[in-house]
Structure 1
Amino acid sequence: MAADWLGSLVSINCGVTLGVYQGEVSSVDQVSQTISLRQPFHNGVKCPVPEVTFSAMDIKELKILDIRNGGSQVGVADSGCYGRNGRGGVSGAPAGSAPVAVPRKGELRSQEGLSSPQQCSKSYGERHLEAPGQTKGFRRRHNSWSSSSRGPSQATPKKNGLKNGGGAMKNKDDECFGDGMDEGLDKDFDFEGNLALFDKAAVFSEIDTSERRGNGVRSRGTPGERTPSRYRHDENILEAKPIVYRQITVPQHSGKEYCTDSGLVVPSVSYELHKRLLAVAERQGLTLERRLEMTGVCASQMALTLLGGPNRLTPKNVHQRPAVALLCGPHVQGAQGLSCGRHLANHEVEVILFLPNFVKMLEAITNELTLFSKTGGKQVSSVKDLPDTPVDLVINCLDCHENAFLRDQPWYRAAADWANQNRAPVLSIDPPVSGQEQAVEAKWSLSLGLPLPLAESAGRVYLCDIGVPRQVFQEVGIKYHSPFGCKFVIPLHST
């Protein structure tokens, strides 16, 4: 009966030391309890010797991968029928185990020429086999052939209701494992022959040619394709005409120019031209109240960003509210500061307003002061009431474009000295032109509409949009195209 197993493909597990061998059974000796494999593989690698012989004492587990009986071939999945017998030897005949008939490659094959049904014990339970001529469902391995390897006319074999390990076998087990191997393990993949088909020198030559055409930047297309123009992530690939960076022109040069982050040129204007622009805007309907509100919104938005923005003004940080000292004078610039302070107080910023008691104030200041008092902000009229400790930000609105005599007032000098001695950074709103020396050195300055030629002590210049229409610019002789883009406050750089 040992001759019935010749030519079958088996897998022999010899433990951790010797490893696992696979190969075709060439001989089985029941007397010496040995089995020999032809063209063996050791741990998935083909052995250098044509045949290996194993003793029963070395075999831990034996699995039959493929049974070849005469001209027919019967597949066995994970049978493990070559195991140790009751005497501690290897059963070399079917008397120790019986193969299981399973479907292979689109057809169900019956067991022919095999012995009576037997049982094969495994570590995970006992498999019950059927009589010859009957088909049997089996557990499919997920790492073997998938269910798609079955032929189109072959259905999944059904369970016959027998027990497996004392429990009912479920239909879902049929899809958990695949068929056995169809091909022998006697053929190696020819790596050298396959590599010879790849002409590496020709391919790299085409790549080098493509890189030279693309100025050293590798193209994502085929090496033979023409390399297109290269664009950065922030460039427009549908650009049809060159960009004009000087989109704003003024009737007379004031001696200083700025540029935006995108490269647009923003020329400065004289105070006389700026004053005439605001007068025309007010005549067209852009009143002082509208300009004050727009300036307050832009300045407060810039101040909130300087104070930390979303990293500081959060509901979880109510115990560390930022403090801002607002220094205002009795003029339009002071009213702009009051509008900014009102919006900051509405955003949970602690605002301390310094505004001296004047006998006569502008109507705009009176209105803004009334609105500011509704926010709960603190107002002081003496420098002694300002905080002794540094605040987070100082907003300077003490200076005026026209009245330079205010700088000789005691309250002005005291407020300027306090701002210079306080270690907080200073933001100036609508500071005067460079001809007037600023008493408070600022870190940032915010200009309105178009910048004035500011001095170096004004710090970094920002520009805010106060809503002046383009036709108003044209009426005063300024060719204007908005440089703000999607923002209302943009930084300017000196050229």
Structure 2
Amino acid sequence: MSEDFVGNCISVEVRGGLGFYQGEVRSVNGDKQTLTLTRVIHNGKPLSLQEITINAMDILDLKILSKGPKTNCNSGYDNVPLTQSQDLQQKQSYNQERNETEQNQSQQYHQQYISSNQQQQQPLYSQNCQQTSCNNQQQQQPLHGLGKDEEHEGRRKPRASVGETLAHGPYMVDSSGSSGFQDYHSPYRNYRYGNDMNRTPSKKDRYRRWQDRDETTFGTPIDEDFINTEFDFEKNLALFDKQAVFEEIQSLKPDVVRQADKRSEKKYRCDENVLPAKPKPLSQITLPPSGAGEVLYTTDSGLLVPSVKSSLRSALFSMAYQHGLTSSRQLEMIGRGATDIILTLIGGCHRLKPGNSHQCAVVVVLAGLHLQGASGINTARQLESHGVRTVIVTPNQSAQPPLLVSHELQLYSLTSGSTTTDPNSLPSTVDLIVDARDDHNMESPVRKHSWYTHTSAWASTCRAPVVALDPPSDIPALSPAPLPARLVLCPSLPLAYTPTRGKVYLVNLPIPSQTFRAVNIKYTPPFGAKLVIPLHPCE
């Protein structure tokens, strides 16, 4: 009679939350109580398996979609609920029913296992055989060795089909040893692996929970109109009265807390400046009105340093000379500050080290025959003491140079440096140029000498940076135009320079405070712990 169902298209509802299986009946095994389907569709999705085998114990409901062989089974699929929402509701009901059924079976198997221990020799028959009315004598053999794990585990075999593996796990138990009876719900197995919440969940249990969770989260049908509608953030934000909500929250606070909140620091909006404003520059140097220059400078720490006129600074140096700070002492301090700046520009300790002696730094000093030129020669001598190769270029004059310049040239001749008057004999590779050709006398004949023009032309073709050593103010403009310098070095107080002249640095001369007061200057040193500081034009 079972052969009459072969070829029919059926829909089978399976226990354990697995849903529906639809397909064509290939065979029905009455002895093993199994059903084999081909052309299988699981919950509306075709399976890649050619066939699956389902046990009668796992079937909750069975519907015949069409009768007769070679019938198109797709015509009956419309009768099966396959939508996401319906499938979700069905699976939730299946899970609830599965939990109740497994809990009841676990309690029954536990009671049977206890009674079997009391009777000791009483055989325990398979619960599946009693529910499916298996009358075969071979199927009613007792499960000997119920308490022996080795013997029981030795009779475990792989499942015969993929459908059984999905529904019951990867193994079956052969109770007779040879008949191949599939004991899916053995009392011993359910006692050990039943609905026990204290045991570690298997991969199959975790997979089912993940699958139910995903279907609960993503099983709701998608509303296309809702997706295509753009969310209006501004309109939604306008519905929220932030100020009213804060006032309501403040009204619920005690009076003491509300008063403390009012005294708290100001809260800034997103378009307000939360950074503190720059401190107002502090003026610690006051000049007489007749000696103040046109430019006001500021240090990195915010101190104001006014520029002075050349006449006032000359009076300051003359007064310092009278107080004992001679010109030679002043030249040493100016040369020391210039040497520190030049050593930094040519590479510092990375360039001037014993392992780098094969590429010695070369500095050319263009020195006039005056106080500024003597400062340049003093700087060259101090650079020679640091291992820097220097060359001094002086103008060719028959007249005897000033005594201060002669003394500096005599000291420099004791070093390994060289002196020349021809710019064409200078080395082709130069690291830095020190420009000490200009003095503060606007009528000086040095600027009209051909030597001045030749050295300017040579320095313009050389790509080395230029350091101007105490040049005159370029306000008003000088003629001819001076060399563009990277930085300008001034002693004690700066002169007025335009921004195009170069960055201004100030060298500290140890002039006593009484000397400043003697020329009507109120002076507080702005140097701090440094010998040379940068100055910036004050905005």
The TM tier, using the shorter chain, reads 0.5 to 0.7
2:282 to 238, 241, 245: 245
1:447 to 477, 490, 500: 490
1:338 to 377, 395, 398: 377
SS of 1:254's equivalent in the other structure is strand
8 Å contact 1:390–1:423 — kept in the other structure? no
8 Å contact 2:367–2:374 — kept in the other structure? yes
CA drift at 1:262: 1.8
**Residue 253 of structure 2 corresponds to residue 213 of structure 1:** no
SS of 1:342's equivalent in the other structure is helix
CA drift at 1:265: 1.0
Amino acid at match of 2:282: Y
Go from structure 1 to structure 2 and tell me whether the alpha carbon gap of 1:424 and 1:39 turns closer, same or farther (over 3 Å shift). same
Counterpart for residue 324 of structure 1:
363
Amino acid at match of 2:287: V
Go from structure 1 to structure 2 and tell me whether the alpha carbon gap of 1:379 and 1:33 turns closer, same or farther (over 3 Å shift). farther
**Residue 317 of structure 2 corresponds to residue 266 of structure 1:** no
Q: State percent identity of aligned pairs.
A: 35
Unaligned runs of 5+ in 2: 1-109, 118-144, 150-190, 207-248
Counterpart for residue 458 of structure 1:
501
CA drift at 1:44: 12
2:453 to 380, 394, 413: 413
Equivalences for residues 22-101 of structure 1 within 5 A = 31-34=146-149, 36=192, 40-42=198-200
Aligned mates of 1:333, 1:36 — CA distance in 2:
104
CA drift at 1:39: 5.2
CA drift at 1:231: 10
CA drift at 1:295: 0.5
Counterpart for residue 304 of structure 1:
343
SS of 2:358's equivalent in the other structure is helix
Unaligned runs of 5+ in 1: 1-25, 49-200, 218-229, 236-241
Counterpart for residue 79 of structure 1:
none
Largest Rg, 1 or 2 = 2
- Please list the CA deviations of residues 384-437 of structure 1 after superposition, one character each: whole Å capped at 9, or x if unmatched: 2112x3411110001111252211112122112211222211110000122434
Counterpart for residue 365 of structure 1:
405
Go from structure 1 to structure 2 and tell me whether the alpha carbon gap of 1:281 and 1:211 turns closer, same or farther (over 3 Å shift). same
Amino acid at match of 1:409: H
Amino acid at match of 2:352: L
Which segment drifts farther, 261-270 or 362-371?
A: 362-371
CA drift at 1:42: 2.3
Aligned mates of 2:416, 2:201 — CA distance in 1:
82
Counterpart for residue 225 of structure 1:
none
Amino acid at match of 1:447: C
Aligned mates of 1:275, 1:213 — CA distance in 2:
53
Q: Which has the higher helix share?
A: 2
Go from structure 1 to structure 2 and tell me whether the alpha carbon gap of 1:210 and 1:299 turns closer, same or farther (over 3 Å shift). farther
CA drift at 1:335: 0.6
8 Å contact 2:281–2:298 — kept in the other structure? no
CA drift at 1:278: 0.3
Aligned mates of 2:301, 2:521 — CA distance in 1:
21
Go from structure 1 to structure 2 and tell me whether the alpha carbon gap of 1:243 and 1:454 turns closer, same or farther (over 3 Å shift). closer
- Aligned Cα RMSD in Å? 3.4
Which segment drifts farther, 305-314 or 283-292?
A: 305-314
CA drift at 1:478: 0.9
CA drift at 1:315: 2.6
Go from structure 1 to structure 2 and tell me whether the alpha carbon gap of 1:281 and 1:264 turns closer, same or farther (over 3 Å shift). same
SS of 1:369's equivalent in the other structure is helix
Residues matched between the structures, number: 292
Amino acid at match of 1:458: R
CA drift at 1:244: 6.2
2:293 to 254, 266, 274: 254
Amino acid at match of 1:40: N
TM-score by length of 2: 0.49
CA drift at 1:43: 8.2
8 Å contact 1:258–1:268 — kept in the other structure? yes
**Residue 520 of structure 2 corresponds to residue 481 of structure 1:** no
Equivalences for residues 51-450 of structure 1 within 5 A = 213=265, 215=267, 245-252=282-289, 253-358=292-397, 359-387=399-427, 389-402=428-441, 403-434=443-474, 435=476, 436-437=478-479, 438-450=481-493
CA drift at 1:287: 0.6
